[in-house]
Structure 1
């Protein structure tokens, strides 16, 4: 069997450093197949190419793999774009100095496989879930067989067969020290059809849930290693089948002492379900509200209305559960009228944080990309290695950004522009705060009966 040197290329620390579980899942698959695996994290080793060279020389691997999590920072508002793909190229250049085959993969790679393979100079690439395909590719290379350069997507791995990451103790200690948060995946796939989203393209439309017992076992193991703050990285945690509720019940039954957060879609949820989640350790919710008015929600193919967003938020406030709503301005059917309506709507939401973004980074294979081509905003064959952002042709981008800046400038819990919000979070880090951090911006009233419902606040905003 072979020695495989895996590299996580991600060095982004905003909003906080994230453990490279994708690399560790691949490491587990290779280890189970009998290979010796070395997991190397660029962030945890100081982002030094010289250190990487030394580690490669010491390991003397037969194969190298690079996990590319992001292409860029998807922030249209900044004057510069953080192009992570250029860092990935420099890493590949170092890996190729060892004269071993270099295999690229990861979520970022899977969005632009041909372009990234050509740009970085990697020898092979794997699209989508890679644990089985990585083992198969190396087996073919070991046997000297002819093999294609890019392994395309295949049918998703069933939930009960999704591997637990091969957690690396040294990396665990690093991320616990740096952020205090460890990420865990309970399912793959996305059952929603949002116009801009790449999750269905990467993981499929069918939710594939991991056995609740297995996830709970993983949580217990992580707790023994000192991890008590968990972020569930599923595309949407609150699935229609209720797997997330079963997991909450199991966490309570086993008395697993964790605080946790995850991605939620706003929509119908019962008070007793929220109470159950809170008893299991729910600390906060990151909510994919995405748009700020009924017109723009429809334009993004969302399955809920803004009234449902308000009801969801009010129920969370009643349970004293902090929510952060992530929303995008400038999407399909956005006008200056809906921008003003959206600002008023978001400011009417009670006791929550809002992360507004400007424009939508386009990716081929999404309904929004198809719409942008039809609207003449982009060519069908245009390279997307350089980021291209969708803005509704019915508005002026600069006028919209000015309105957003003015509309949110007096709110410490409305973090726009995005880089300004990150600066506030960085200040909290300097004072020793760990975790998701944005929840520190929410102060619940000690007398819930005195709260003004969001609907009343919204009516007042539109009346003014």
Structure 2
């Protein structure tokens, strides 16, 4: 039996960080415990004092794993998290002294920048992709990895399809104290079929074998969550209805469970989304349907890699409203091909067809490795570790403010806009290579790449 500490670095107090329930780390902990290892989760939301009091570090651990969900908040007005991770790892090593437990890195953020983070954080081994089976492999033969400073690829974990995941009640209650908090639940491990140019989802997912989780396991998890007093669930699938028949089965199961007060949400695509599905959603008391066209200009949507257009968004919203289902529509201005006309078209759609509270708006696409965006720009992964955004016209903020109805621009949004605009002005500008101009259509041939000065 091995003794393993699993540290949720995503729960560190950092500017711009909004901790969410650590479902990935819980999956790893559950796998280790099922294999008769001792595994303790160190979470700084559940135990804030553990950030400064590192007495837990000096316990006789055989291995300490660190999960990194994000390397920055993907927000133009916020700095990155990597320096915070480095500083914390330095403190952990100092507290360890002569002790030499195996240090392991992992998580979705780590998977995207594994080579660069290995160099900066100095783990013995890192896991790219799903971590359960890899952690079992590592703990079975730790000497193979000690001092290796290498990354390995995560493998399929068979128990995902056979065993329910039950979370400690105290941890769930800790995270549901936040007003917008939800508990994540996986229904599948299958790569999203869409080819959005900004999304690294397939790269992070790794070997998933297209697994669709048995309904009885999902039902057991939901019953346990409900019994603990939790009432809000978010299904963490890339796209909940990417396989409509299975999605309908999951929604029917939720309705049949009839858990009082339980509500849920997920990311949806407006296609496929038929009337039967909308009716099932309404019966299941879905909290809201989140769709991400990211632009409401058909030309830009195509450049983003969307497999649907505004007509599909129209039909989805019409079905939601007919069945009384609240909707949220994500729009991110500043992507490939964004110009004065496309901003105007998106704003006209929002003003005329979205209701108050339906718009979720952002500016600027964070460029991530292994994405179409990174390939368009011809940028190597090491150049992307610092907050890096796709190039956009310097007047973009002014266009948005001018075109959008004031009901979509409350004071809170305007303040965020001003912060993002100021941040964009303080970023290094890097010219795009001439041969890349056609691949990355934009009026403003510069890339916002890492800040020259720290923001205050």
User: What is the CA-CA distance between 1:90 and the residue it aligns to?
Assistant: 2.6
Structure 2 matches for 1:32-431, cutoff 5 A? 32-46=34-48, 48-51=50-53, 53-57=54-58, 59-76=59-76, 78=77, 81-96=78-93, 97-98=95-96, 99=99, 100-141=101-142, 149-154=149-154, 156-157=156-157, 161=161, 164-179=164-179, 180-188=181-189, 189-204=191-206, 207-257=210-260, 258-351=262-355, 352-373=357-378, 379-380=379-380, 382-392=382-392, 396=393, 398-408=394-404, 410-412=406-408, 416=413, 419=416
Please give the TM-score of this superposition, normalised by the length of structure 1: 0.81
Asked if the contact 1:4–1:37 (Cα under 8 Å) also holds between the matched residues in 2, the reply is yes
Q: CA deviation at 1:215?
A: 0.5
| Counterpart Cα distance in 2 of 1:311 and 1:241 | 16
**1:459 corresponds to:** none
TM-score (ref. length: structure 2):
0.82
Secondary structure at 2:407 match in 1: coil
Query: Any conservation in 2 of the 1:65–1:104 contact (CA below 8 Å)?
Result: yes
- Determine the C-alpha separation between the residues in 1 that align with 2:348 and 2:340: 12
- After superposition, give the CA deviation of every residue in 1:325-374 in whole Å (9 maximum; x if it has no partner): 1112121122211111111112222325212222211112111111112x
SS at match of 2:40: strand
Structure 1 unaligned residues grouped into runs of 5+: 374-378, 423-464
Displacement after TM superposition at 1:169 (Å): 2.3
| 1:434 alignment counterpart | none
Match runs of 1:5-20 below 5 Å: 5-11=5-11, 17-20=19-22
The one-character-per-residue Cα deviations of 1:238-257 (angstroms, maximum 9, x if unpaired) are 12242221011112223233
CA RMSD of aligned residues (A): 2.7
Alignment check: 8 A CA contact 2:367 2:390 kept: yes
Preserved CA contact (<8 Å) 1:8 1:68? yes
Q: Contact 2:173–2:230 (CA<8 Å) still a contact in 1?
A: no
Alpha-carbon distance in structure 2 between the residues aligned to 1:421 and 1:242: 44
For 2:188 and 2:327, the matched residues in 1 are separated by 22
**Secondary structure class of the residue paired with 2:406:** coil
SS of residue paired to 2:354: coil
1:145 & 1:18 partners in 2: Cα distance?
30
Per the TM alignment, residue 417 of structure 1 is displaced from its structure 2 partner at its CA by 5.4
Asked if structure 1 preserves the Cα contact closer than 8 Å seen for 2:10 and 2:19, the reply is: no
Q: Is the 8 A contact 1:300 1:331 kept in 2?
A: yes
**2:31 equivalent to 1:29:** yes
1:144 Cα deviation after fit: 5.5
- Of residues 320-329 and 406-415 in structure 1, the stretch that sits farther from structure 2 once superposed is 406-415
Q: 1:248 to 1:42 in 2, by over 3 A?
A: same
Residues 70, 108 of structure 1: 8 Å contact kept = yes
Aligned positions, number: 407
Query: Secondary structure of the equivalent of 1:263?
Result: strand
**For the Cα contact (< 8 Å) 2:66–2:105, is it kept in 1?**
yes
Instruction: Please report how far the alpha carbon of residue 73 of structure 1 lies from its aligned counterpart in structure 2 after TM superposition.
Output: 0.9
The answer to whether the 8 A contact 1:354-1:413 is kept is no
Give the corresponding residue for 2:453.
Answer: none
Structure 1 pair 226–272 and aligned structure 2 pair: CA distance change class (3 A) = same
Contact residue 124 and residue 150 of structure 1 kept, 8 A: yes
Change beyond 3 A, Cα 1:17–1:237? same
Q: Does 1:4 align with 2:4?
A: yes
CA distance in 2, matches of 1:56, 1:325: 44
